[in-house]
Structure 1
Amino acid sequence: MNNPSTPPQALQQVAGAAIISGPWPSYAAFRNLPERERWVLYGSAKAYREALELQGLVMSESYDQFVRRVTEELEL
């Protein structure tokens, strides 16, 4: 079932799996928070991605690209 807040262009169907191709949430606005809070946000971002994947969604952004992007945005 599609989330009504997910833009239709963000979902593709491939072999029965929904592929999310973005737009990705940005964490750059939080880079001025204390380091501990930025690590908590990083953990939350990973947990959210995992929850989506456990529901059968596939991200077009690889896990390595995701980690690189989020750590750069949070300056970790």
Structure 2
Amino acid sequence: MRAFKSENVVIKESDESKIKELLARGFKEIGEDGKLIEDEKQTVVSPDEFDTLKQEKGQLEKENAELKKKLAEANKKLKEATQQSG
């Protein structure tokens, strides 16, 4: 029987089809000592794909910063309006 962990959930399983499902859901296999068994699968990304993903990440970080700024401004206006009416 093999053990798998995700967050604080540990599941013991022996059925290979269920094991594949757990791994697909992001569970990691742990040994009897409770330590993570390193996953042999590695994701390989081409340099072009890496550059594209890096650009997308930068754009998303910029968009996120703008949205946080808008949210802070909206919260400030709401707080001011609440204080004026109250």
TM bracket, shorter-chain basis: 0.3 to 0.5
TM-score normalised to structure 1 length: 0.32
User: Between Structure 1 and Structure 2, whose CA radius of gyration is higher?
Assistant: 2
TM-score normalised to structure 2 length: 0.29
Higher helix share goes to which structure?
A: 2
